[in-house]
Chain A
Amino acid sequence: MAAVTYDEATRLYPGTPRPAVDKLNLSIEDGELLVLVGPSGSGKSTALRMLAGLEPLDSGRILIGGEDVSAVRPRDRDIAMVFQNYALYPNLDVAQNMGFALKQQGVAKEERTKRVNDVAKLLDLEPYLDRKPRNLSGGQRQRVAMGRAIVRHPQVYLMDEPLSNLDAKLRVQTRAELVELQTRLAVTTVYVTHDQVEAMTMGHRVAVLRDGELQQCDAPSTLYHEPANLFVAGFIGSPAMNMLPVSVGRTVNVAGAEIRIGDTPGGGERATLGFRPETVLVGGEGPIPARVRVVEDLGSEVFVHLVIEHEGGEHRIVAKVDPPFAGKSDDDVRLTLRGAVHLFDSTEVRRATVTL
């Protein structure tokens, strides 16, 4: 069990103009579950593989437990990894798969068998111990991949989108089991995903990456309520945050309505106004006119897709309301903003948050 540090870690693939991972700085605490999240191409998998030793560093360092492991081979780093496609050894059965690393270390057969059986019990894999991977279902293979990592008692667990090949229901179920397991084992875990819902529900902290650069690393609620920039604000949360271009003054003009945001007079500079669906109240005598496009009734909540006339063009907005919702397509309604709204300046950095 150890802390992990990325210190200005950089990876540039030969022949490409921009680094895949650009001067990444992250400090992960012992026992923490840190999620690396971002769209494809953001460098999250590359960053994980650099920690594993499967990608070399072009500059910077990586530290595990305080030691610089940048030039250390994967097999000497005392880490365990769960791959996206599980990478189970096809010619070995489940027990041999899970015991493989122990065998390489020279652990005696009896102890190997005992440790494998313990983990098999933990993951409900006992009936499958002598099956080969090709005779297992996707969910079973995923558990074997997890078991293979857990058996090893390493310093760090690395997980590369381990749930993305499972069907939706199994994914939700396994997600919770994974969090439970990690809390119990209390081993430092670095977890990569492109799914922001997974990120939000699983990590102690979440690091958002974009084009190789770290955007923000914070607890999920901080990312949600205090996004550092426009990208994080738009990436985290589903449905995505609503965003409108505005000019900043004491008020901002939204679809013709003047919304008061503060006391200091602004100079009229351009900014982006961001507000989450739950801050949009539909109905009543609100200041903002809108038209309903589509109503999505999920049972426990309702998402109303609206369109407004703002600054000479049409903009789409999503509102989250509690059921029941009486409106339907093409209705004209009026909106009110209530709750936290954010202002992002022209460099996309969040400058202010106002509670309406």
Chain B
Amino acid sequence: MKRGTRLGVGERRALVAGLGVLAWVVGLLWIFPVAWTVFTSFKTEQDAAAQTLHHGLGLGRYSDVSHSTAGTLSLQTAFTNSFVVVVVSTLIVLLLALPAAYALAIRPVHKWRDVLFFFISTKFLPVVASIFPIYVYAEKWNLIGTRTILIVLYIAINLPLAIWMTRSFFMEVPRELIEAAEIDGTSLVNQLRSVILPIAAPGIAATALLCVIFAWNEYFYALQLNFASGSTMPQWVISNVSTRGNFLAKLSAASIIACLPVVLAGWAAQKRMIRGLSMGALK
């Protein structure tokens, strides 16, 4: 049984295959720094520094960085802090953004364009501009070194993006469904739950993922508003940069551990994220 051809008319197989090869080369080159870091994380420090492989590969560095020494930030502490901050802030962001998106998409307020622009404009202000007043008041209210202050700030950072994207996904919901629910007298909460969310769910997942990425990776506020021993994952990675002796392999292991959760989440939700970025931002 013949298999049928995939080439278009007049297309040369060599050219098409060549493009595929080029894509492979480009992809592998681009990821090289990460791949090399993964490789290094299994080496001994000697090998890492010399960029050679003499002593074999192992998980030694991973256990090195996982053990905490007194006085320095431990992996457990940093991971817990990051996890709590990211999960709580993302949940609250969604809690605030979903109704706001409803008010901008489904039953829009009069000045929805202005409101949207306001939200986006809050991202134009550099973070460093507001850090000092925030620091002063955080100190006054004993919030330095707590997860609370980070949660509060991360919500503010991610809210504009979440509102913008969620609004676009809500615009996808067919008008007739909303109108039918209105005729039936469904309340806002129920409308959200039974009509809007099922359709917009993939988009909201993509939005949540992006919020998680930005919150997990955030460094500046976490650095400024925490003591060295109480911070989040980015700070923990930096703490593996040492002035004494070789640290490259340990640093590599630490980097991999720190980035793994978000990378895996991003890989798994790739298609959703693509759809989210494109439609969420554009429609």
Contacts and interface: CB of A to CB of B under 8 A. Distances in A.
B12 to A, nearest CB: 11
Contacts of B1: 17
A11 B3 CA distance: 10
Contact of A56 (B2, B3, B8): B8
Interface stretch (A71-79, A152-160, A187-195, A315-323): A71-79
Contacts of A17: 1
B9 A12 contact: no
A332 interface: no
Interface in A65-89: 70-74, 76
B6 interface: yes
Interface of B is mostly: loop
A124 interface: no
B2 A53 contact: no
Contact of A74 (B5, B6, B9): B9
A14 B3 contact: yes
A221 interface: no
Contacts of A55: 9
B4 A71 contact: no
B10 interface: yes
A71 B2 contact: no
Interface in B1-30: 1-10
Contacts of A76: 10
A59 B4 contact: no
Contacts of B4: 11-16, 58
A54 interface: yes
Contacts of B7: 56
B10 A53 contact: yes
Contacts of A58: 2, 4-5
Interface in B141-190: none
B2 A73 contact: no
- Interface size band for A: 10 to 19
Nearest to B1: A17
A212 to B, nearest CB: 13
Nearest to A72: B10
Contacts of A71: 9-10
B7, B8, B9, B10 — which one has the most chain A CB atoms within 10 A of its CB? B9
Contacts of B5: 14, 56, 58
Nearest to A11: B4
A228 to B, nearest CB: 28
A58 B2 CA distance: 8
Contacts of A14: 3-6
A58 B6 CA distance: 10
Contacts of A59: 2
Contacts of B3: 12, 14
A14 B6 CA distance: 7
Contacts of A70: 9
A135 to B, nearest CB: 21
Nearest to A13: B4
A16 B6 CA distance: 13
A347 to B, nearest CB: 25
Interface string B170-213: 00000000000000000000000000000000000000000000
Interface in A31-69: 53-56, 58-59
Nearest to B7: A56
B10 A12 contact: no
Contact of B9 (A13, A15, A16, A54): A54
A56 to B, nearest CB: 5
Interface string A247-265: 0000000000000000000
A70 B7 CA distance: 13
Contacts of B10: 53, 71-73, 76
Nearest to B3: A14
A15 B2 CA distance: 10
A76 B3 CA distance: 27
B6 to A, nearest CB: 6
A12 B2 contact: yes
Interface string A1-33: 000000000011111110000000000000000
24 contacts: A11-B4, A12-B2, A12-B3, A13-B4, A14-B4, A14-B5, A14-B6, A15-B4, A16-B4, A17-B1, A53-B10, A54-B8, A55-B9, A56-B8, A56-B9, A58-B4, A59-B2, A70-B9, A71-B9, A72-B10, A73-B9, A73-B10, A74-B9, A76-B10
Given A11-B4, A53-B9, A76-B10, 12 more contacts: A12-B3, A12-B4, A14-B3, A14-B6, A15-B4, A54-B8, A55-B9, A58-B5, A70-B9, A73-B9, A73-B10, A74-B9
Closest 4 CB pairs of A and B: A73-B10, A12-B4, A14-B4, A53-B9
